[in-house]
Amino acid sequence: MIKKILIVDDSPISIRIIKCCIPKDRDFEFFDAADGRIGVEMFKQIKPDLTFMDLTMPVMNGFEALQEIIQFDSRAMVVIATADVQSKAIERAHELGAFSVVKKPPTRENIAAAISGVESALAKRR
């Protein structure tokens, strides 16, 4: 079951949009970070159940942050939320350990599907 969600994105508007797309009937605890470096540090501290990660950010991009998170916790559930939907970027994200990729701007349906997919995967681990 997902309780803690970390959103890593340098755009406060994107963070707000993702939060707005997440179902309100659940009692999620939200955390956010403005770049990949802060995102990795927060991930290690709070150990979220789900992380939404942008790819294009200052200081440390999403690919680098994803790689560090997966090295820290190989079972981390990271959903890439990006406007870069080129097949090479999506392929690289999956190779580095992303659970799935959601196109920006996200929709309620895409975010709900990502959350549902993560919850199904987490349930199978038990």
Could you list the beta-strand ranges (E) of the chain. 4-8, 29-33, 50-53, 78-82, 100-103
Residue with tokens 């009692």: 27
Chain-centre distance for alpha carbon 123: 18
Is 126 a residue whose pLDDT tops 80? Answer: no
Instruction: Count how many domains the chain has.
Output: 1
Is residue 18 within 8 A of residue 7, CB to CB? The reply is yes
pLDDT tens per residue, range 5-58: 999 999 999 999 999 999 888 889 999 999 999 999 999 999 999 999 999 999
pLDDT tens per residue, range 51-93: 999 999 999 999 999 999 999 999 999 999 998 778 899 999 9
What pLDDT is stored for residue 96 in this prediction?
97
pLDDT band at 118 (very low <50, low <70, confident <90, very high): very high
- Which CATH number covers residue 62? 3.40.50.2300
Domain that holds residue 60: 4-125
Q: What are the φ/ψ torsions at residue 80 (nearest 5 degrees)?
A: -80, 130
What pLDDT is stored for residue 24 in this prediction?
85
